[in-house]
Amino acid sequence: MKIKDLKNKDTKSLVNILNESKQKLNVLTLNNRFGKVKNYNELSDLKKTIARILTIINKK
């Protein structure tokens, strides 16, 4: 997600997106351990998105 899109959302929706992202990260991490992940960049992008969301929540 882009930072502009995240800044326009309220805190409740950001928390929901954060929870979904964390669950997706857990699934991708587990699949990565079993060698089922084809796109490794998705892991790092998801980690960056989670960090962005946490930063925006802390600023609000």
Q: Output the DSSP codes for 24-55.
A: HHHHHHHHHHTT--S-THHHHHHHHHHHHHHH
Q: Looking at residue 38, what is its pLDDT? A: 86
pLDDT in tens, 9-57: 999 999 999 999 999 999 999 999 998 888 889 999 999 999 999 999 9
pLDDT of residue 52: 95
User: Band of the pLDDT at 2, cuts 50, 70, 90?
Assistant: confident
In this prediction, residue 56 carries a pLDDT of 94
**The pTM is what?**
0.86
Give the domain ranges of the chain: 3-59
Query: How far does the chain reach from its first CA to its final CA, in angstroms?
Result: 18
Indicate if the pLDDT at residue 1 is higher than 80. Answer: no
16 Cα distance to chain centroid: 11
Q: Domain spanning 3-59 has what CATH number?
A: 1.10.287
